[in-house]
Amino acid sequence: MNCRSIVRELSNYLDEALDSTLKASIEKHLEHCEDCKVVVDTTKQTIQIYCNSEPAPLPEDTRQRLRDALKKRLRGVRV
Amino acid sequence: MSAPKINPVEPAVHTLPSQVVKDDEPILVAAAKAGDISAFETLVGRYERKIFRLAQNITQNREDAEDSMQESFLKAFEHLGEFQGNSRFYTWLVRIAVNQALMKLRKRRPNQVSLDDDIDTGEELIPRDVEDWGPSPEDRYEQSELSNILNTTISELDPSFRVVFQLRDIEELSTEETAEALGLSVPAVKSRLLRARLKLRQKLNRYFRRSENS
């Protein structure tokens, strides 16, 4: 297992989609390769930061137009 | 456009914790299917922010994002009878929203790279700028500043990478669901996801590396 193979398998490793043998050889490489460890850690952080980010509230005018469209089409209310 | 067919395959388990589904969702969906408009409006209220963000990230245009969001909810209501509960309601809704947003994007930018084109960027995957970020680097920024950083960074990605990352890592669809929603093969989704993750890591490095803020 070399650094190039680690990058190629990075997504599968982070998604826990690897068989145990391949996973073990990646982890063995990470024990002694600081650069690959940093790449794995910072890529994992990238995913988590985006995954945990809360969407901003809808702008008020956008929310109102959505409400009006739903009322009109779902409830037949003239707006 | 017709609503997407329901994937009978249950989604693969995503390794990151989902904050999307609440326990009462099946009850609300069942009530909405029975004609309870208030129940549907509750679902809209629950997901409107996420669907708007999804549409905005795909279209990169506020007006198109707003139209896509509205049409998505209206189509979801009209086609609710076709939703059989084999997948999460939210996953089903996301697929509708992706279709709406992609139609807008293609209308506005017909000459841009098609999402199902084979993309060979010829770029080396080996990452540059290998620097530790330390724990919770996002905590160094105010919420609004962090939002700006994340929005700016993801908007710099090629659309075909951006949408794959959005569906897999933000909306938490499985690889198979993402492939189906985008009409891509599973290997194409995996390849784009890896590139998207590496590119975002590279771009975020300028904000989160330890040396920048220590």
Stated pTM of the model: 0.82
Interatomic CA distance for residues B141 and B212, integer angstroms: 12
pLDDT at B12: 38
- A51-73 residue pLDDT tens: 999 888 899 999 999 999 998 88
pLDDT at B114: 59
pLDDT at B197: 97
Residues of B in contact with A74 (CB under 8 A): 37, 40-41, 74, 77
B127: left (phi over 0), alpha (psi -120 to 50) or beta: beta
| Prediction ipTM score | 0.89
Q: Between residues B6 and B95, which one has the greater pLDDT? A: B95
The whole-number average pLDDT for the span B144-162 is 91
pLDDT at B21: 56
Helices B175-182 and B186-208: angle between axes, nearest 10 degrees = 110
- B85-143 residue pLDDT tens: 888 899 899 999 999 999 998 888 766 645 655 555 555 677 888 889 988 999 999 98
Interatomic CA distance for residues A55 and B193, integer angstroms: 21
Which member of B127, B138, B193 has the closest CB to residue A39? Answer: B127
pLDDT at B30: 93
- The answer to whether residue B138 neighbours chain A at the CB level (below 8 Å) is yes
Task: Give A 20-59 residues with CB within 8 A of chain B.
Answer: 35, 38-39, 41-43, 45-58
Q: Between residues B213 and B51, which one has the greater pLDDT? A: B51
pLDDT at B116: 59
Can you say whether the dihedral through the CA atoms of A3, A44, B94, B121 is positive or negative? negative
Interatomic CA distance for residues B141 and B137, integer angstroms: 8
Does the A3-74 domain belong in CATH 1.10.1060? Answer: no
pLDDT at B8: 35
Does residue B59 register a pLDDT over 60? Answer: yes
Interatomic CA distance for residues B103 and B190, integer angstroms: 23
pLDDT at B6: 38
Interatomic CA distance for residues B27 and B31, integer angstroms: 6
Which two three-digit tokens encode residue A12? 């599968």
Would you tell me how many other CB atoms lie within 10 Å of the CB of residue B134? 15
Residues of B in contact with A3 (CB under 8 A): 126
The whole-number average pLDDT for the span B78-85 is 91
Task: Give B 156-195 residues with CB within 8 A of chain A.
Answer: 165, 169-170, 172, 175, 190, 193-194
The residue type at B197: R
The pLDDT mean for chain B works out to: 84
- Distance to chain A for B212, nearest Cα, Å: 15
Greatest distance between any 2 Cα atoms in chain A: 68
B1-110: CATH architecture? Orthogonal Bundle (1.10)
Q: Is there a contact between B204 and A49 if contact means CB atoms under 8 Å apart?
A: yes
pLDDT at A79: 58
Residues of B in contact with A49 (CB under 8 A): 137-138, 150, 204
- B167-176 residue pLDDT tens: 999 999 999 9
- Per-domain residue ranges for chain B? 1-110, 119-214
- B27-58 residue pLDDT tens: 999 999 998 999 999 999 999 999 999 999 99
DSSP assignment string, A55-72: PPPPPHHHHHHHHHHHHH
Q: Can you name the CATH fold of B119-214?
A: Arc Repressor Mutant, subunit A (1.10.10)
- B176-205 residue pLDDT tens: 999 988 889 999 999 999 999 999 999 999
- Per-domain residue ranges for chain A? 3-74
